[in-house]
Structure 1
Amino acid sequence: MPGHKACAEKTLRGKLKVEKTRNNGTGRQFAFDTITAVSQTDVRLSGYDKPLNSRKESLFISNKTEREITAVEVRMTYKDMQGRMLHETERLLRADIPAGATRRVEFPSWDKQNSFYYHKGRQPRVANVTPYSIECSVLRYVSPSVTSAGEKL
């Protein structure tokens, strides 16, 4: 048609934005670094729990570094009591953990049918449920790098 121009349509919702930096109100901005955990002493996992009828699992993450941590990627391997693998997953657990602090995080359970329970947790009174053990390891963690006027602190 004469007089009509073709133009691209805006197909993204207006409120979807990727946060690349975070400002804490002090004039400093945070650019995030992903650090592959070379040493298991940087981040410690402990206190895992998943009761039989729970749809959530939880564990404690201890930050042994001198930097704030905003997320931790972990590999979890679930095994029956004979050592056979039941399931394995990698999860990114988001949590703001100050340097030297510990935080409890919850995440959705892999056991969708509530037929497994953690062997070190509370023993269920029902039959036909399976105990399991878990191995957790830290793959990497995310930590903000503090910058002020383009300089690393």
Structure 2
Amino acid sequence: MKHVLFLIIVLSCNCILLSGQNNVPKNPFVPRTQPARIITNKKDTVQNTLCGKSGSLRKTDFAHAIDMLGFEKRLNDRTETFMLQNNTENLVTRVKLKITYRAPNGKMIDYREVMVDGELLPHTTRQFEIESFDKGKRYYFHKSTGGNKKLEGYPFHIQFSLLRYDIAITQ
């Protein structure tokens, strides 16, 4: 009986303490988030902010928002170099791509998802370099030049899919 009474008292105290937790001062070392921006007029909508002048983001708009240009990977390269073109009205800060590597006959060699960090201004192109999927240096991009023809290697083609891009909203 004493244990039950003690348990009831402890549980009651915990309930009282938890219910008054909102009055506890906040830790000054924990960063506070800024309040959400309030939309004040009809033109200032989240959709216009994220989608530029078009006002809507259709599936085809997303698929063509970022293009990959000028891919390069020679036989002995440890990196892959390419350019990304921002076709949007917004500053893009990060792009996630799915790159599929295929043999000339169309068979898949490998695929991977890569995150490319860097600012892409609206309607501009920028070169990026990522670590190659080919750790053994056995493959080369079929259009790459400057490779030694005497070395044995396997050509590949690529396909890419845009999975995500991040937009920086600035004032």
Same fold (TM > 0.5): yes
Residue 155 of structure 2: aligned partner: 131
- Tell me the secondary structure at the aligned position of residue 142 of structure 1: strand
Segments of 5+ residues of structure 1 without an aligned counterpart are 1-17, 22-33, 148-153
Q: Give the counterpart letter for 1:109 in structure 2.
A: S
Residue 89 of structure 1 corresponds to 112
The 3 A distance-change label for structure 1 pair 37 and 54 is farther
Of residues 132, 135, 141 in structure 1, which corresponds to 2:165? 141
Letter in 2 for 1:116: Y
Displacement of 1:79 in angstroms is: 0.8
TM-score (norm 2): 0.62
Q: For residue 88 of structure 2, what is the aligned residue in structure 1?
A: 65
1:93 to partner: Cα distance = 0.5
Ranked by relative contact order (alpha carbons within 8 Å, sequence separation 6 or more), the top structure is 1
1:82 CA displacement: 1.4
Give, as a single letter, the amino acid of the residue that structure 1 aligns with 2:139: F
Which has a greater percent of strand? 1
Q: So what's the TM-score if we normalise by structure 1?
A: 0.69
Instruction: Name stretches of at least 5 consecutive residues in structure 2 with no aligned partner.
Output: 1-30, 35-49, 52-56
Aligned 8 A contact 1:37 1:139 in 2: no
Which one has a larger percent helix, Structure 1 or Structure 2? 2
User: Residues 104-132 of structure 1: CA distance to partner in whole angstroms, max 9, x if unpaired?
Assistant: 00000000111111011115312421111
Q: 1:76 aligns with which of 99, 111, 116?
A: 99
CA distances 1:58-113 after superposition (whole Å, capped 9, x unpaired):
11111111110001100000011111111000001011111111100000000011
What count of residue pairs does the alignment treat as equivalent? Answer: 118
Superposition CA RMSD, Å: 2.6
Distance in 1 between residues matched to 2:102 and 2:168, nearest whole Å: 35
Q: Which has the larger radius of gyration?
A: 2
Deviation above 4 Å: which 4+ runs of structure 1? 34-37
Write out per-residue CA displacement over residues 7-61 of structure 1, whole angstroms, 9 at most, x where no aligned residue.
xxxxxxxxxxx9x89xxxxxxxxxxxx9999332211111111011110001111
| Matched ranges for 1:14-93 at <5 A | 38=59, 39-93=62-116
CA–CA distance in structure 1, aligned partners of residues 151 and 157 of structure 2:
18
Percent of aligned pairs sharing the same letter: 26
* Aligned partner of residue 146 in structure 1, secondary structure: coil
Work out which of the residue numbers 86, 106, 112 in structure 1 matches 2:129. Answer: 106
